Structure 1
Amino acid sequence: MADIIIDGTADVPIWIQIRNRIIYLIRSGQLAEGDRLPSVREVAVKQNVNFNTVAKAYKDLERDGLIQTKRGSGTFVASTAQQVGTLSDSPLDVLIDELLESADSRGIGDDELLFQIQRRLETRRANHG
């Protein structure tokens, strides 16, 4: 299996880099359905990152149906390259989804969320422009 590579200097959060790398490996055929992934602990140690960071990436991939953890056996690729082809791997998409889920869990409606984003953008432009 190809390595899960991250860039500690990138602006993209590490968990998203891990997620996107695994998606790339599946799309490119370097990982196939049924292939075993390294454990969360193995990736964390090898990449010198926090265990929880890797776990978050794996949990997100599992939620999307791309990988499957079998207790006592490990974590395996659950989807083929064709199934992954329709999945967006944009870091921005992932961050937006995370924001939307967080807003929903806090009872923040769409109109309020959009208003607050617009307000923040205007404040940022005024301070930086």
Structure 2
Amino acid sequence: MPHLQFETTAAVDSAAKHAFTDEITDVYADRMATGTGHVAVTVRALENASFSLGRLEPGEDAVMLNADVRAGRSFDRQRSFVRDAFEVAHGRWGVPTENMYAVVTEHGGEQFHEYDRVLSSWGEHEAEDSAD
């Protein structure tokens, strides 16, 4: 179960969060070759003073993505997702892509727990059958 955590200083209401999480879930599933049933997305809108990214001037909107994902995917898959996620955030929230930062952390599948199961690490078979 990937956990994709987005924090932003952009003003984002509930409807915009829902639309964003739906789109990001689909982008993740496509770029990372998996299903959508286990993808968790959180969006936190922060006050500007609660967010600092060294290269930004005070008051500029920004986005931070922390992506906890299952081990097994190539750097190119990860990079494709991050860049596309930035484009989605830019399109929906108007934050310049140069004001975005991401950290991707890989975990073995056994570190992802659902109530009724523990996941396995990602494998190429998911690219073929979109396993959840």
TM-score > 0.5 by shorter chain: no
TM-score under structure 1 length normalisation: 0.27
Whose Rg is larger?
1
TM-score under structure 2 length normalisation: 0.27
Instruction: Pick 1 or 2: higher relative contact order, CA cutoff 8 A, min separation 6.
Output: 2
